[in-house]
Amino acid sequence: MSGEKRITKFVSKKISKVKWRPPQNRASSQTDVFISGSWDDEDNQVSVWSVAKEEEIAADLDEFGGLLEGEPHRLCHLGLAGSVHDLCFFNYDLILVSSSLGGVTLLKHHSNSQTLSVVLEWKDLHRFHSQAECACTSVAPHGDHFVTVGEDGRLCLVNMEHRTPTAVIDKADSCSINAACMLKRDECATVNSSGQLKVWDLRQSQDVPRASRLFLPSNSASGERCALNCITNHPTQAHIVATGGQDGALSIWDMRQEKFPVTVLSAHASHLWEVVFHPNFPDHLFTCSEDGAAWHWDASRTEATPIFGSKDSVGESFHGSSAKVTESKSPWLTCQAAKNQLEITDLLPGSRMPINSIDIVDCTLLCGTDAEQIICVQDLVVA
């Protein structure tokens, strides 16, 4: 029997996204503040939460009285038009939010007064020619810029200091682009409703960013098309990417040498909505689904195979140029052949309502649900 502790907070809103705030000190992985976004309501909100500590509860019973240790309590919130599709911290106190109305809003969290304020808005980054509502499905920051993608198949590159995009690809895809992540400063990966994964070259020397690599779903030969809903990259090996599909499958891609997934693992019974690697222990991965499940995938006992390169070897970069890389191992590239060594734990047994979003820090997993709950799964074993 696993020893996880689960704390459920009822929030009266369907939660579309949850994200931990990055630690203020890069040398530490400790953080107790997170953000959430809601959807499918007339009054949707972005909220900032703190996880109650035992010493805080004891010191201030007026504010924290009645809270359990580890229970979230809301610090502040701000109403936004449209449903929240994605959100993330740009830095310690700046938050990027994408909405169903096609725009992105930059918020600032003022920790002294515990308030949220709007710093800047980029409206109508995504739109249909019919002027019908078009969601900005994902926002991916890196350095001083961020990438957005949307239901219109558009990709926008935005500099934080500019009010208009620095580059736009109007027809990046003929279908909805569902998610994006930055691989490095000049490269972005996207997934779409046709089951394709694309890598985009964002170098400033080009007039328009272009797709430098195209990856196909493993079932493309059969003519079937299964949408990919989410994407994330390995925290230390950016060439390793994980995606989640409409069919509930978890796919692992090696983007240096493969056109198809290296590993495809049958997972959930319905849409896999989000996948995250543990930032400090990336042999541990977490997924959530429309079927109400949140799973912990432990590959730490899987025998890892050395993967491409060493300090003295030369390999091909994403751009096709030669680059030295460091020898490393990853169990995720060998899971297909070692499924019996992969341990999977259902962290929310009995849950039936969709789990839309998850995020992990240290030993605590956040879950945002359609049951109008935020669930904290604590004391996970990830070392």
Q: pLDDT digits over 216-232, tens only?
A: 775 543 446 789 999 99
Mean pLDDT calculated for residue range 236-264: 90
Give the CATH number for residue 256: 2.130.10.10
In angstroms, the CA 321 to CA 352 distance is: 48
In angstroms, the CA 366 to CA 360 distance is: 6
pLDDT for the residue numbered 216? 76
- Domain assignment present for residue 365? The answer is yes
CA angle 227, 286, 92 (to 5 degrees): 100
- Domain assignment present for residue 356? The answer is yes
The pTM score is 0.89
Query: Which residue did the predictor score with more confidence, 348 or 184?
Result: 348
- Nearest residue to 129 (alpha-carbon basis) of 99, 157, 153, 163: 153
- Domain assignment present for residue 383? The answer is no
Whether residue 199 has pLDDT greater than 60? yes
Query: Which residue did the predictor score with more confidence, 202 or 46?
Result: 46
Q: How many domains does the chain have?
A: 1
pLDDT for the residue numbered 304? 61
Q: State which residues form the domain around 340.
A: 5-378
Most confident of 12-26, 182-196, 279-293, 337-351: 279-293
pLDDT for the residue numbered 238? 86
User: The dihedral of CA 259, 265, 266, 270: what is its sign?
Assistant: negative
Residue 161 structure tokens: 């200091």
Residue 201 near residue 187, CB atoms below 8 Å? yes
Percentage with pLDDT > 70 across the chain: 83
pLDDT for the residue numbered 383? 78
